[in-house]
Structure 1
Amino acid sequence: MAQSVLRNIRYRGLTTCVPERAFSNVQDCPPEQRSERERLVRNIGIETRRVCLEGVVFSDLALVAAEKLIAGLGWEKSSIDALIVVTQSPDYPIPATAIILQDKLGLSHGTVAFDINLGCSGYAYGLFTLGSMLSAHGLKRGIMLVGDKSSNPLSLDNGLLSLFGDAATATALEFDEAAPPMYFNMGSDGSGHKAIIIEAGGQRVPIQPHHLERLPGADGISRKGTDVILDGPSILNFSIREVPVAVAELVEFSPFGLEDIDYFVFHQANRMINETIRKKLGLPAEKVPMSLKDFGNTSSASIPVTINTRLQEALAQGPQRLLLSGFGVGLSWASCILEIENAYLPPLIEI
């Protein structure tokens, strides 16, 4: 495991933007499937997810979240030194979406801006990347935009069960010598890269006409070559094998015990995975907030979405120590322990 401590980095704020449009896995399905759908929803825990309107993409949500965050903090845009975008839903293959948003946000030409292509583990990796840049001195303020447009249009057209929702979040970090340390534990296993994959569209498998047709796969599911393929059993086994160990190793690396953590915020994969992880770690349910029911699996945004929508009241009452843990596509995983105090966390933004 790659373990590290970041010093002098203050968590200044978090905003979350989601589409106003919501779809229900129970209500928005054919009536004859209602009973079976209710059973599935009880198992996966995803009742509703937010879905972008036609023509709206991740960066549109991210732009709104970033503008709200910068205004709420009262930061001059000229004082922002870095802009990192963590997404698997870029506007274009090239250029990087961060460069486009640097211009749309009116940030200076001296802003460091780049993308990170990560999904479920991306929030913790992004905190580590941006925090490392700021802790090296010279750079003082940074914004991290995290999320994806993950909803599947096929599920909307056909009333199919969907796990994924759309969301974008903006997080502000600032160099501060009085800030408490952040502790990180990260890992990857590329031998499992096919467990979550879009096969066509890169240079390994360039898009051909047949990739745009919905054809039945080996699992009997019809999909395009540009659709995501999920190996459910492999993802389940990976998650419940690696995450509890990674969390335990992070706690051992830090000066804290499990009892010293106020809340544990895990990537919102599905209810079965998350509950298994919670029970293996022996954590009380009240210390493990979940946003699955209302937003679904929002990829790299799921951890900040959960913080913003489930912990706003707790964070308003005083400093809170959180353990964040993301895991999935790659396969990759990353966990961190950080303290949040007096951060700007406005209510959820819906557009």
Structure 2
Amino acid sequence: MAFIEAVNISIKGIAACVPKKIQKTSDLEIFSKKEAQVFEQNTGIKQRHISDGTICASDLCLQAAKNIIQKLNWQKDEIDVLIFISQTPDYILPATSNLLQNRLGLSQNCFCLDISLGCSGYIYGLNLISNLLQNKNLNKALLMVGDTISLYTSEYDKSVYPLFGDAGTVTAIEYQNKNPSKWSFIIGSDGSGLEAIKINDGGARNRTNSSSLLFQNIDFEDESIGKRRDIDLQLRGIDVFNFAIKIAPKSIIELLENTNQTIENVDYLFLHQANLFMNETIRKKVKAKKEKTPNSIQNFGNTNGASIPLTIVQTFIEIKLENDISTVMCGFGVGLSWGAVSMKIEKSVQFDMSYL
């Protein structure tokens, strides 16, 4: 795994926005009452916020960005970088980051980039921006991470549909040469895990055709778990679980060793919100305390790359930080890809939560 560092970087604000539409696990027609209870117990997911079909990830990120820019009193012409990380962009082309630059009214000199990443996207995005800002001509950046993945799931698929919620987040980041902070990263990927999490049709490899829209029955261990199309998200849950409980603890432990820390020194551990049982397994493997490992999956489900910043906002939105806090964050999933970062969140950071 690659070990990367960046200095003199500060997070100034983190904002999240989710759709107003809520879907409770207990109300899902694909589940019997008992199945819904078992699902809640196993995954921790009681409800999710999902798009009504008209809201895109960019809309959620845009609202979050407007809120945090206003809260920080940033001038729009001072924002030098906009990175949009999503696997549900507005279009195949053009890039959604360009559209967001225009919708926000940012300068045409703004560096804009789309990145197609899911569960590890927030860590990769922090890594990219922190290193871009080492160029002292770039000072302020917006990291937008969001997905409306519910739009790409079959409502008849018990293995996928109840898991995913929609969210958009924005992290405002600034270069400050008088700030002695250091961000340390572990990054890795394994493309041999292609089949673990995948939408088969719709890209250049397998273009959408008439058969892409046909529902097919899904069986698992000789039991039907619903039906889906080749344009819908497919998930091999066991493969993902085995990957996550192996690579996430390894990444966290290696990161702590490289930064001369122990888990006891860390104030908070923020994990990608894939599955509560999975995260509890990871937490126990690295010996982190339960009260130091917050979760948001109960109310939002798996929100892909947005899950870590969303969890941070939910943790601190009603708490005024009295001191800077040390954190480790770890994202893992589709790709397969993963990453972890060690950093401080300063007590002056602004948080915002909104609904669209």
Fold match, TM over 0.5?
A: yes
How many angstroms does 1:152 deviate by?
4.8
The 8 Å contact of residues 265 and 307 in structure 1, kept in 2 or not, is answered as yes
Match of 1:6 in 2: 6
Q: Given that residues 58 and 90 in structure 1 are in contact (C-alpha distance below 8 angstroms), is that contact kept between their aligned partners in structure 2?
A: yes
Q: Does 1:275 align with 2:275?
A: no
Any conservation in 2 of the 1:152–1:164 contact (CA below 8 Å)?
A: no
Task: Tell me how far apart the structure 2 counterparts of residues 65 and 33 of structure 1 sit (CA, whole Å).
Answer: 36
Q: Which residue in the other structure is 2:126 paired with?
A: 127
Q: CA, structure 1 residues 154+182, in 2 after alignment: closer, same or farther (shift >3 Å)? A: closer
Q: Normalised by the size of structure 1, how large is the TM-score?
A: 0.95
Structure 2 counterpart of 1:66, which letter? A
Is the Cα–Cα contact under 8 Å of residues 157 and 227 in structure 2 kept in the other structure?
Answer: no
**Aligned partners of 1:262 and 1:287 also within 8 Å:** yes
Counterpart of 2:234 (choices 229, 233, 245) is: 229
Q: Which residue of 1 aligns with 2:189?
A: 188
Aligned to 1:177, the other structure's residue is in SS state coil
Q: Secondary structure at the match of 2:27?
A: coil
Contact 1:315 1:341 in 2 (8 A): no
1:307-318 alignment to 2 at 5 Å? 307-314=312-319, 316-318=321-323
Aligned-residue sequence identity (percent) comes to: 37
Normalized per residue, which structure has more strand?
2
Kindly indicate whether residue 219 of structure 2 is the aligned counterpart of residue 214 of structure 1: no
> Contact 2:316–2:351 (CA<8 Å) still a contact in 1?
no
CA shift at 1:256, angstroms?
A: 2.0
Residue 170 (str. 1) matches residue 174 (str. 2) = no
* Residue equivalent to 1:83: 82
- Cα drift, residue 194 of structure 1: 1.0
Report the CA distance shift for 1:81/1:21 in structure 2 as closer, same or farther (over 3 A). Answer: same
Deviation at 1:84, TM superposition (A): 0.2
Q: 1:334 to 1:289 in 2, by over 3 A?
A: same
How far apart are residue 326 of structure 1 and its match? 0.1
Number of residue pairs the alignment of both structures matches: 350
Q: Distance in 1 between matches of 2:284 and 2:26?
A: 27
Query: Unaligned 5+ residue runs, structure 1?
Result: none
Tell me the residue number matched to 2:254: 249
Partner of 1:148: 147
* Structure 1 position 217, deviation (Å): 4.6
- What is the root-mean-square deviation in Å for CA atoms of aligned residues? 1.8
SS in 2 for 1:135: coil
Which range is displaced more, 290-299 or 252-261? 252-261
1:328 corresponds in structure 2 to 333
From the superposition, tell whether residues 315 and 249 of structure 1 become closer, same or farther in structure 2 (CA, over 3 Å): farther
What SS class does the counterpart of residue 147 from structure 1 fall into? strand
User: What is the letter of the counterpart of residue 177 of structure 1?
Assistant: N
Q: For residues 148 and 214 of structure 2, what CA distance do their matches in structure 1 show?
A: 21
SS at 2:350 equivalent: coil
Task: Check the 8 A contact 2:163/2:302 in 1, yes or no.
Answer: yes
- Distance in 2 separating the partners of 1:68 and 1:303: 19
Using the alignment, how far apart are the partners of 1:315 and 1:302 within structure 2? 21
Is the CA contact (8 Å cut-off) linking 1:315 and 1:340 kept in structure 2?
Answer: no
Matched residues in 2 for 1:136 and 1:154: separation? 41
SS at match of 1:26: helix
Q: Deviations over 1:2-33 (max 9, x none)?
A: 00111011111100000111110013447x81
| TM-score, with length taken from structure 2 | 0.94
Aligned residues of 1:183 and 1:338 also touching (Cα < 8 A) = yes
Deviation at 1:234, TM superposition (A): 0.6
Counterpart CA distance in 2 for 1:315 and 1:3 is 32
Deviates more, 1:135-144 or 1:337-346: 337-346
- Asked if the contact 1:308–1:345 (Cα under 8 Å) also holds between the matched residues in 2, the reply is no
Conserved 8 A contact 2:184-2:341: yes
